[in-house]
């Protein structure tokens, strides 16, 4: 009781994703996830509030890493250079989890409630990046526009990355998409 389970959180996350893909999200219970991971439901609830949080527990850390990179960008960096630094941090955070990210995307795409939750996380990210840019002294509407543009690039690049038949580095896809946004908006 209350014993620390080595790697329990990772095993639960892996087990949950397998079941969501095999049976569907709605058909998967916490009991089944714990069982697949060789753990108890009690242990599950020590790490996650519910089966939805298994999919979104990383979103907050991801946002924190983007904001930290934005804060750490050189003081003379332009708003988009600071946003580019945040996108590099996102690539570092997610870059070695392409298979997990692709599975997660397909599970979320199949469920309206999860799609909504993901939209809320993306809106929260845009808000946090906007706040970070304003802390750097970027005026409005530049801060909001750069933050929204950054999240647009993040979404489009992430989607390309997980669905690309070739496994290319996420950082590279992010940078290409950022350049492409510039090309598209100036044409």
Site for a copy of itself, rule CB under 8 A: 78-80, 116, 119-120, 123, 140-142, 144-146, 148-149, 152-153, 155-157, 159-160, 177, 180-187
Nearest to a copy of itself of 30, 156 (CB atom): 156
**At its nearest, how many Å lie between a copy of itself and the CB of residue 19?**
26
The encoded tokens of residue 156 equal 């489009």
**At its nearest, how many Å lie between a copy of itself and the CB of residue 133?**
10
Smallest CA-to-CA distance from 160 within 174, 149, 143, 146 is with 174
DSSP string, 57-97: HHHHHHHHHHHHHHHHS-TT--HHHHHHHHHHHHHHHHTT-
**At its nearest, how many Å lie between a copy of itself and the CB of residue 21?**
24
Nearest to a copy of itself of 131, 142 (CB atom): 142
Sign of CA dihedral 56, 58, 60, 65: negative
Nearest to a copy of itself of 89, 153 (CB atom): 153
What's the CA angle centered on 179, arms 70 and 93, to 5 degrees? 40
Nearest to a copy of itself of 102, 155 (CB atom): 155
Nearest to a copy of itself of 2, 185 (CB atom): 185
Overall size of the chain counted in residues: 187
Nearest to a copy of itself of 21, 156 (CB atom): 156
Smallest CA-to-CA distance from 25 within 117, 99, 114, 101 is with 114
Using CA atoms of 15, 21, 22, 25 in order, give the dihedral in degrees to the nearest 10: 90
**At its nearest, how many Å lie between a copy of itself and the CB of residue 56?**
14
**At its nearest, how many Å lie between a copy of itself and the CB of residue 17?**
24
User: What distance in Å separates the CA atoms of residue 156 and residue 111, rounded to the nearest whole number?
Assistant: 20
**At its nearest, how many Å lie between a copy of itself and the CB of residue 126?**
8
């Amino acid at each position: 009781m209350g014993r620390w389970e080595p790697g329990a959180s990772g095993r639960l996350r892996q087990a949950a994703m397998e079941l969501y893909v095999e049976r569907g999200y709605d058909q998967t219970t916490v009991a089944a996830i714990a069982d697949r991971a060789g753990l108890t439901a009690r242990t599950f609830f020590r790490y996650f509030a519910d089966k939805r949080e298994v999919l979104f527990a990383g979103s907050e850390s991801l946002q924190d890493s983007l904001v930290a990179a934005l804060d750490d960008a050189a003081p003379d960096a332009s708003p988009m250079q600071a946003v580019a630094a945040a996108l590099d941090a996102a690539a570092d955070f997610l870059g070695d989890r392409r298979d997990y990210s692709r599975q997660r995307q397909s599970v979320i795409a199949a469920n309206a409630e999860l799609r909504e939750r993901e939209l809320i996380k993306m809106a929260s990210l845009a808000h946090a990046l906007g706040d970070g840019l304003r802390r750097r002294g970027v005026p409005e509407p530049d801060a909001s526009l750069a933050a929204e543009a950054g999240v647009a690039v993040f979404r489009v690049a992430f989607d390309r990355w997980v669905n690309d038949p070739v496994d290319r580095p996420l950082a590279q896809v992010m940078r290409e998409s950022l350049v492409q946004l510039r090309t598209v908006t100036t044409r």
